[in-house]
Amino acid sequence: MRALRCFTLIGLLALLAACATQPPVAPPEVAPQVDRFELRGRVAVKLDGRGHSARMRWLHHADSDSIWLYSPVGSTIATLHANEEIATLVTSKKETYRSADVQSLTRDVLGWDLPLDGLKYWVLGRVDPGSPVEQIEWDEQERIKRLVQGGWEIEFAGYADNGTLPASMVLRFADLRMRLLIDRWNVALLEQ
Protein backbone atom coordinates (compact mmCIF):
# COMPACT_ATOMS: atom_id res chain seq x y z
CA MET A 1 0.00 0.00 0.00
CA ARG A 2 2.78 2.38 0.92
CA ALA A 3 4.54 1.65 -2.40
CA LEU A 4 1.30 2.46 -4.28
CA ARG A 5 1.02 5.84 -2.52
CA CYS A 6 4.68 6.58 -3.28
CA PHE A 7 4.19 5.78 -7.01
CA THR A 8 0.99 7.88 -7.06
CA LEU A 9 2.79 10.81 -5.42
CA ILE A 10 5.72 10.54 -7.87
CA GLY A 11 3.26 10.38 -10.77
CA LEU A 12 1.39 13.48 -9.55
CA LEU A 13 4.64 15.39 -9.05
CA ALA A 14 5.78 14.44 -12.55
CA LEU A 15 2.41 15.58 -13.95
CA LEU A 16 2.63 18.89 -12.09
CA ALA A 17 6.20 19.42 -13.30
CA ALA A 18 5.12 18.79 -16.88
CA CYS A 19 2.27 21.29 -16.55
CA ALA A 20 4.58 23.90 -15.04
CA THR A 21 7.12 23.67 -17.86
CA GLN A 22 7.57 27.06 -19.46
CA PRO A 23 7.24 27.47 -23.23
CA PRO A 24 10.52 27.23 -25.11
CA VAL A 25 12.50 30.42 -25.19
CA ALA A 26 13.34 31.71 -28.65
CA PRO A 27 17.01 31.46 -29.53
CA PRO A 28 18.97 34.65 -28.91
CA GLU A 29 19.46 37.10 -31.74
CA VAL A 30 22.64 35.99 -33.46
CA ALA A 31 22.94 38.84 -35.98
CA PRO A 32 25.51 41.43 -35.04
CA GLN A 33 24.38 44.75 -33.61
CA VAL A 34 24.41 46.84 -36.77
CA ASP A 35 24.32 50.63 -36.60
CA ARG A 36 24.25 51.24 -40.34
CA PHE A 37 24.64 49.18 -43.47
CA GLU A 38 24.95 49.29 -47.20
CA LEU A 39 23.78 46.43 -49.34
CA ARG A 40 23.79 45.81 -53.04
CA GLY A 41 21.66 43.21 -54.67
CA ARG A 42 18.66 42.44 -56.78
CA VAL A 43 14.94 42.57 -56.17
CA ALA A 44 12.20 40.79 -58.11
CA VAL A 45 8.56 41.64 -57.50
CA LYS A 46 5.54 39.68 -58.73
CA LEU A 47 2.03 41.09 -58.36
CA ASP A 48 -1.17 40.31 -60.27
CA GLY A 49 0.68 38.03 -62.67
CA ARG A 50 3.15 40.76 -63.65
CA GLY A 51 6.80 40.73 -62.71
CA HIS A 52 9.32 43.51 -62.18
CA SER A 53 13.01 43.22 -61.40
CA ALA A 54 15.75 45.68 -60.58
CA ARG A 55 19.21 45.96 -59.16
CA MET A 56 19.23 47.71 -55.82
CA ARG A 57 21.52 49.72 -53.59
CA TRP A 58 20.37 50.51 -50.04
CA LEU A 59 22.10 52.77 -47.52
CA HIS A 60 20.62 52.53 -44.02
CA HIS A 61 21.45 54.85 -41.13
CA ALA A 62 19.74 54.96 -37.75
CA ASP A 63 17.60 57.93 -38.80
CA SER A 64 17.33 57.59 -42.59
CA ASP A 65 17.29 55.27 -45.57
CA SER A 66 18.23 55.78 -49.22
CA ILE A 67 17.37 53.18 -51.85
CA TRP A 68 18.27 53.27 -55.54
CA LEU A 69 16.58 50.92 -58.03
CA TYR A 70 18.34 50.33 -61.36
CA SER A 71 17.32 48.61 -64.58
CA PRO A 72 19.38 45.62 -65.77
CA VAL A 73 21.37 47.99 -68.04
CA GLY A 74 22.15 50.37 -65.16
CA SER A 75 19.74 53.27 -65.69
CA THR A 76 17.96 54.61 -62.61
CA ILE A 77 14.35 53.45 -62.23
CA ALA A 78 13.67 55.29 -58.96
CA THR A 79 15.35 56.70 -55.87
CA LEU A 80 13.76 56.66 -52.44
CA HIS A 81 14.92 58.73 -49.47
CA ALA A 82 13.13 58.38 -46.14
CA ASN A 83 13.56 59.64 -42.61
CA GLU A 84 11.25 59.76 -39.59
CA GLU A 85 9.30 62.71 -41.02
CA ILE A 86 8.95 62.17 -44.78
CA ALA A 87 9.63 59.81 -47.66
CA THR A 88 10.52 61.13 -51.11
CA LEU A 89 10.50 59.05 -54.28
CA VAL A 90 11.93 60.36 -57.56
CA THR A 91 11.18 58.42 -60.76
CA SER A 92 13.35 58.02 -63.85
CA LYS A 93 11.30 60.84 -65.43
CA LYS A 94 12.36 63.14 -62.56
CA GLU A 95 8.84 63.17 -61.10
CA THR A 96 8.95 63.69 -57.33
CA TYR A 97 6.43 62.21 -54.90
CA ARG A 98 6.27 62.64 -51.12
CA SER A 99 4.46 60.91 -48.27
CA ALA A 100 4.81 60.27 -44.56
CA ASP A 101 4.50 56.52 -45.24
CA VAL A 102 7.01 54.63 -47.43
CA GLN A 103 4.76 51.61 -47.98
CA SER A 104 1.83 53.63 -49.33
CA LEU A 105 4.20 55.84 -51.35
CA THR A 106 5.76 52.87 -53.17
CA ARG A 107 2.31 51.31 -53.65
CA ASP A 108 0.97 54.51 -55.25
CA VAL A 109 4.02 55.26 -57.43
CA LEU A 110 5.66 51.88 -58.17
CA GLY A 111 2.55 49.72 -57.89
CA TRP A 112 3.85 47.51 -55.04
CA ASP A 113 4.41 47.81 -51.30
CA LEU A 114 7.90 48.19 -49.85
CA PRO A 115 7.62 47.43 -46.11
CA LEU A 116 10.69 49.50 -45.14
CA ASP A 117 9.77 49.75 -41.44
CA GLY A 118 10.01 45.97 -41.02
CA LEU A 119 12.47 45.28 -43.82
CA LYS A 120 15.27 47.23 -42.13
CA TYR A 121 15.17 44.53 -39.40
CA TRP A 122 14.28 41.50 -41.55
CA VAL A 123 17.13 42.13 -43.95
CA LEU A 124 19.50 41.74 -40.97
CA GLY A 125 17.88 38.43 -39.98
CA ARG A 126 16.03 40.01 -37.06
CA VAL A 127 12.50 40.47 -35.81
CA ASP A 128 10.95 43.95 -36.06
CA PRO A 129 10.59 44.99 -32.39
CA GLY A 130 7.66 47.29 -33.25
CA SER A 131 5.33 44.55 -34.52
CA PRO A 132 3.99 41.37 -32.89
CA VAL A 133 5.41 38.08 -34.17
CA GLU A 134 2.69 35.81 -35.53
CA GLN A 135 4.96 32.82 -36.31
CA ILE A 136 8.68 32.13 -36.23
CA GLU A 137 10.85 29.15 -37.17
CA TRP A 138 14.57 28.77 -36.51
CA ASP A 139 17.20 26.80 -38.39
CA GLU A 140 19.75 24.46 -36.76
CA GLN A 141 22.16 27.40 -36.30
CA GLU A 142 19.51 29.45 -34.44
CA ARG A 143 18.95 31.84 -37.34
CA ILE A 144 15.47 32.81 -38.48
CA LYS A 145 14.26 30.45 -41.19
CA ARG A 146 10.68 31.71 -41.53
CA LEU A 147 8.89 34.64 -39.94
CA VAL A 148 5.32 35.96 -40.10
CA GLN A 149 5.06 39.50 -38.80
CA GLY A 150 2.70 42.38 -39.54
CA GLY A 151 0.89 40.28 -42.13
CA TRP A 152 4.14 39.66 -44.06
CA GLU A 153 5.60 36.18 -44.45
CA ILE A 154 9.38 36.21 -44.75
CA GLU A 155 11.38 33.13 -45.73
CA PHE A 156 15.15 33.25 -45.34
CA ALA A 157 16.54 31.10 -48.14
CA GLY A 158 20.23 31.58 -47.38
CA TYR A 159 22.76 33.49 -45.30
CA ALA A 160 25.88 35.28 -46.57
CA ASP A 161 28.97 33.09 -46.25
CA ASN A 162 26.83 30.82 -44.03
CA GLY A 163 27.00 33.57 -41.38
CA THR A 164 24.35 35.69 -39.66
CA LEU A 165 23.39 38.16 -42.42
CA PRO A 166 20.81 37.02 -44.99
CA ALA A 167 21.84 36.59 -48.63
CA SER A 168 18.45 35.57 -50.00
CA MET A 169 14.90 36.09 -48.78
CA VAL A 170 11.35 35.91 -50.09
CA LEU A 171 8.61 38.19 -48.74
CA ARG A 172 4.89 37.62 -49.29
CA PHE A 173 1.92 39.82 -48.52
CA ALA A 174 -1.49 38.92 -50.03
CA ASP A 175 -0.83 38.64 -53.81
CA LEU A 176 2.58 40.32 -53.64
CA ARG A 177 5.74 38.21 -53.81
CA MET A 178 9.14 39.88 -53.46
CA ARG A 179 12.49 38.10 -53.74
CA LEU A 180 15.59 39.89 -52.46
CA LEU A 181 19.07 38.61 -53.32
CA ILE A 182 21.92 40.37 -51.55
CA ASP A 183 25.20 40.27 -53.43
CA ARG A 184 27.29 42.43 -51.12
CA TRP A 185 27.12 43.64 -47.51
CA ASN A 186 28.96 46.52 -45.86
CA VAL A 187 28.07 46.93 -42.19
CA ALA A 188 29.10 49.26 -39.40
CA LEU A 189 28.80 47.56 -36.02
CA LEU A 190 27.67 49.34 -32.91
CA GLU A 191 30.45 49.95 -30.44
CA GLN A 192 29.89 47.89 -27.33
Please state, as a whole number, how many other Cβ atoms lie within 10 Å of the Cβ of residue 86: 13
Per cent of the chain over pLDDT 70 is 81
pLDDT, one tens digit per residue, over 3-14 is: 333 333 333 333
Q: 57 in helix, strand or coil? A: strand
pLDDT over 90 at 85, yes or no: yes
pLDDT over 60 at 30, yes or no: no
C-alpha–C-alpha distance, residues 106 and 155, integer Å: 22
C-alpha–C-alpha distance, residues 182 and 43, integer Å: 9
Tell me the pLDDT of the chain averaged across its residues: 84
- The residue type found at 55 is R
More confident residue, 35 or 94: 94
Average pLDDT over residues 105-120: 92
Q: 177 in helix, strand or coil? A: strand
pLDDT over 50 at 82, yes or no: yes
- Is 96:105 a contact under the CB 8 Å cutoff? no
C-alpha–C-alpha distance, residues 143 and 9, integer Å: 42
- Give the model's pLDDT for residue 35: 77
- Give the model's pLDDT for residue 70: 96
pLDDT over 60 at 97, yes or no: yes
- Is 153:145 a contact under the CB 8 Å cutoff? no
pLDDT, one tens digit per residue, over 137-159 is: 999 999 999 999 999 999 999 99
Average pLDDT over residues 94-114: 93
